[in-house]
A and B are shown apart, each in its own frame.
Chain A
Amino acid sequence: MKAVITVIGKDRVGIISMVSAECSAHNVNVIDINQTVLDGYFTMIMVVEISEINTSFSAFADLLAQKGKAAALDIRVMHEDIFNAMHRI
């Protein structure tokens, strides 16, 4: 089971490190990272494996959203199925 973590905001030192540290702490394996600048915003997309996650999906998503908010970043964790549903026939 995979999830997609997206980080949108102003670029700064340590964003990937912060998100990766939380993934590691919760037994979430990072499969792919992609980053780009879109409309002036730093955008990072991380695909992660969440089958072995050691907390609830909601708690993990909330934690990253809060960490993001504290750093003026919009961080979302979303189950991959929403993207598959929307963009695959």
Chain B
Amino acid sequence: MINTQDILQTIKMIREENLDIRTVTMGISLFDCISDDPARLEAKIYDKITTKARDLVRVCEELEHTYGIPIVNKRISVTPISYVGAGLSPAGFVRLAETLERAASVLGVNFIGGFSALVQKGATKGAEALIEAIPEALSVTDHICSSINVASTKAGINMDAVKRMGEIIKMTAKRTKDRDSIGCAKLVVFANIPEDNPFMAGAMHGFGEPDTVINVGVSGPGVVAAAIKEAGDCDFSTLADTVKNIAFKITRVGQLIAKEAARRLNTPYGIVDLSLAPTPAAGDSVAEILENMGLACTGTHGTTAALALLNDAVKKGGAMASSHVGGLSGAFIPVSEDRGMIDAVKAGVLSLEKLEAMTAVCSVGLDMIAIPGDTSAATISGIIADEISIGVINTKTTAVRVIPVIGKGVGEDVEFGGLLGHAPIMPVRDASCERFVARGGRIPAPIHSLKN
């Protein structure tokens, strides 16, 4: 028999500490949809997605009822569209985005990810056309997410792609300027992109994946924050153990939902992503965890160390709780989606530079950061290059999702709504990096001995 205290702990986590399953994401391969006839390609993609994911939302709702835990997002990731639609013109890729949008609407899923290309060594014609299509594709759709992998530890950094993505982000911001440049919230630039990530905007269905797969992303910053608060001023070993214990419990719920969703959908179970994903709701903040560890405000000295401890302990606890771990698996620090982060930026304590340092020890990168609308494309490329370098050199995933909010500047706020939250516009450096970014070519892959 399960004991009373355990039952009450679970109920408290769900009732008061915002424990939920952040996402159940079905990965779907679209390779068998490839056709030299664009209309046939669109029809096959639509049919495959709406057939394979027909029961996704219904099954997730059943699971919510059975286990009494909210499943916040039901999502789909697909084979990177640049491969499926290779040979299409940019206009053809926009039509594919609209096809995906129709599938998302009819299924009732929150997002489809995979309007993506991998160009770490160079871009194919398909990848170039898809990248060119991004600004329009993201302005005419609401539920499609795009990710471009511009670097890897093995290939180095494709600086031509970094330069291009600075321009594309700026163009996407302009195309959606009447909605606070929200198109950029659905676009992320990666180094070392994972192939099984269930989280947006970077979800895609990788090349080594089965035809369909179920991946689950857990959540629970509020639960961790509460456990740390309860543990009081303990020493670091006890602190790490507290995080590990609670991460184990959170992840076990993710594992249960993943296995049960996979069984009911007759789809292989892929991975559980151990990420701590915050929301703008009170008490669902990664910043609050760091502050409960003893920082007066996130972003002050000690923040990187606190985050490193948190991230490592979450992985240790989570890894034991799940048979297969993957995706991004770490603490997320999206500024607009985390109330504590927003407050820390507003207080002038958390800067872009500190966020960059924090991403060296956690998942996933400079995420959901609003910057002035007049930031140049070259400066955005410089921000991408810096962040991507951290990932390439340290053999980890990093990413950039910044939103140059057209018509707004430092001191103003932007409201994205829902889980995307709101953000104060953060300052960027004025000095130009244009000559550096314009060099073109690739930054070579790093050496993996002589570590220092």
Contacts and interface: CB of A to CB of B under 8 A. Distances in A.
Interface in B1-58: 1-4, 6-11, 15
Contact of B10 (A43, A47, A86): A86
A38 B253 contact: no
- Chain B interface mostly: helix
Contact of B256 (A4, A8, A61, A85): A85
A89 B358 CA distance: 33
B252 interface: yes
B4 A82 contact: no
A67 interface: no
A34 interface: yes
B1 A83 contact: no
Interface in A1-17: 4, 6, 8
Interface stretch (B66-74, B100-108, B153-161, B338-346): B66-74
A83 B65 contact: no
B7 A4 contact: yes
B1 A47 contact: yes
Given A4-B7, A45-B7, A87-B2, A79 B252 contact: no
A80 B2 contact: yes
B114 to A, nearest CB: 30
Contact of B255 (A47, A85, A87): A85
A62 B249 CA distance: 26
B73 to A, nearest CB: 19
A68 B255 CA distance: 30
A22 interface: no
Contacts of A38: 8
A62 B62 CA distance: 11
Contacts of B1: 32, 47
Nearest to B3: A87
Given A86-B249, A86-B252, A87-B249, A78 B6 contact: no
A80 B9 CA distance: 14
A74 interface: yes
Contacts of B2: 4, 47, 80, 83-84, 87
Interface residue range, chain A: 20 to 34
A4 B252 CA distance: 18
Contacts of A62: 65
Contacts of A87: 2-3, 6, 9-10, 249
Q: Most B CB atoms within 10 A — which of A32, A77, A78, A80?
A: A78
Contact of B67 (A34, A45, A47, A78): A78
A25 B434 CA distance: 74
A33 to B, nearest CB: 11
B256 A82 contact: yes
B4 A36 contact: yes
Contact of A74 (B3, B7, B15, B253): B15
Given A34-B4, A43-B8, A45-B4, A85 B65 contact: no
Contacts of B11: 6, 8, 76
Contacts of A81: 67, 256
A65 to B, nearest CB: 9
A45 B1 CA distance: 12
Given A32-B1, A61-B68, A85 B7 contact: no
Contacts of B3: 87
Interface in A35-59: 36, 38, 43, 45, 47, 57-58
A82 B67 contact: yes
B4 A58 contact: no
B216 to A, nearest CB: 13
A22 B6 CA distance: 25
A74 B294 CA distance: 34
B65 A82 contact: no
A86 B15 CA distance: 16
17 contacts: A6-B11, A58-B66, A61-B65, A76-B68, A78-B66, A78-B69, A79-B68, A81-B67, A82-B67, A82-B253, A83-B2, A85-B252, A85-B256, A86-B10, A86-B249, A87-B6, A87-B9
Given A82-B68, A85-B253, 9 more contacts: A32-B1, A57-B65, A57-B66, A81-B256, A82-B69, A84-B2, A85-B252, A87-B2, A87-B6
Give 7 closest A-B pairs by Cβ, nearest first.
A78-B68, A58-B65, A87-B6, A85-B256, A82-B67, A85-B252, A83-B2
